[in-house]
């Protein structure tokens, strides 16, 4: 499974942010299976005016992502997007398949009061579980990572890899790293944290996107900066490690 991770720094214009992501994807000269983006990559937390900044069912950015996934014949996990539905706003992640169809979506369940998310978003009430040709994958968004019961439920529902699109600040970046590894170790699966980079208001977001193996080993650390990286993983390692060290059976 060849995965492109994009550690971006969202600017004010959401269409410029999309264009930057599109240019990165078009610059990759290897066949990709999966593309993963950070939390709120179209807007950052610059959400006002809500009506203008949010996406909806037929928004141009979602149409563009669908077209891009089909052109590249590649899954795209659209990090998370500021999304409006039925007069409510959500911090919502979408997964597009190789044909550009939306496999499903996940709305962030645990809203971070430190950034007043609870005053803006409605919390999701369903787990982020998606069936793909690589097996079942899960999605948690940023603050969700601090709640191990979510990852454990995803694991017992058959997930082999958890993606964690994030906007995690540099001041707590060690928490991000430790928690990603802990979720991988506890559940013996791949965990991929895709964190944004850059300064917004008084918050500096720390990058350091990680790919963690089922053994809890860091197999990619993207460090500080606005950058992208391609990595190959073998999902079969999950079952192999669980057989050799069957913690979950207990």
Q: How many residues does the chain have?
A: 250
Q: Establish whether 142 is a catalytic residue.
A: yes
Catalytic residue among 39, 55, 74, 117: 39
Q: Residue 194 burial by CB count (10 A; 0-12/13-18/19+): exposed, middle or buried?
A: buried
CA distances (Å), 244 to each of 152, 153, 185, in order? 20, 22, 14
Q: Establish whether 39 is a catalytic residue.
A: yes
User: Is the pLDDT reported for residue 12 higher than 90?
Assistant: no
pLDDT in tens, 135-158: 999 999 999 999 999 999 999 999
User: Is the pLDDT reported for residue 89 higher than 90?
Assistant: yes
User: Is the pLDDT reported for residue 207 higher than 90?
Assistant: yes
Q: How confident is the model at residue 6 (pLDDT cuts 50, 70, 90)?
A: very high
Q: How confident is the model at residue 116 (pLDDT cuts 50, 70, 90)?
A: very high
Q: What is the Cα Rg of the chain in Å?
A: 17
Catalytic residue among 14, 72, 74, 142: 142
Q: Which CATH architecture has domain 2-249?
A: 4-Layer Sandwich (3.60)
Catalytic residue among 14, 108, 110, 177: 108
What element of type H or E holds 136? strand 135-139
Average pLDDT, the chain: 97
Residue 83 CA, chain-centre distance (Å), reads: 15
User: Is the pLDDT reported for residue 182 higher than 90?
Assistant: yes
CA distances (Å), 190 to each of 102, 136, 216, in order? 23, 12, 8
């Amino acid at each position: 499974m060849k995965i492109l991770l994009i550690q971006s720094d969202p600017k004010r214009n959401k269409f410029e942010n999309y264009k930057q992501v599109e240019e990165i994807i078009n610059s990759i000269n290897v066949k990709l299976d999966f593309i993963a983006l950070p939390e709120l990559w179209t807007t950052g937390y610059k959400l006002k005016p809500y009506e203008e900044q949010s996406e909806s069912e037929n928004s141009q950015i979602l149409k563009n992502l669908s077209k891009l996934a089909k052109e590249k014949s590649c899954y795209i996990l659209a990090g998370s997007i500021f999304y409006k539905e039925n007069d409510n706003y959500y911090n919502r992640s979408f997964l597009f398949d190789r044909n550009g169809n939306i496999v499903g979506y996940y709305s962030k369940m645990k809203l971070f009061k430190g950034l007043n998310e609870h005053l803006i978003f409605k919390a999701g009430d369903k787990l982020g579980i998606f069936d793909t040709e690589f097996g079942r994958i899960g999605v948690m968004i940023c603050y969700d990572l601090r709640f191990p019961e979510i990852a454990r439920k995803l694991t017992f529902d058959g997930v082999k890899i958890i993606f964690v699109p994030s906007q995690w600040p540099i001041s707590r970046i060690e928490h991000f790293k430790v928690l990603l590894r802990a979720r991988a170790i506890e559940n013996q699966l791949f965990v991929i944290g895709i964190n944004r980079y850059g300064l917004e208001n008084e918050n500096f977001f720390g990058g350091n996107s990680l790919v963690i193996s089922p053994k809890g080993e860091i197999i990619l650390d993207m460090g500080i900066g606005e950058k992208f990286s391609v990595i190959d993983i073998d999902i079969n390692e999950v079952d192999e490690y669980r057989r050799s060290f069957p913690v979950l059976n207990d």
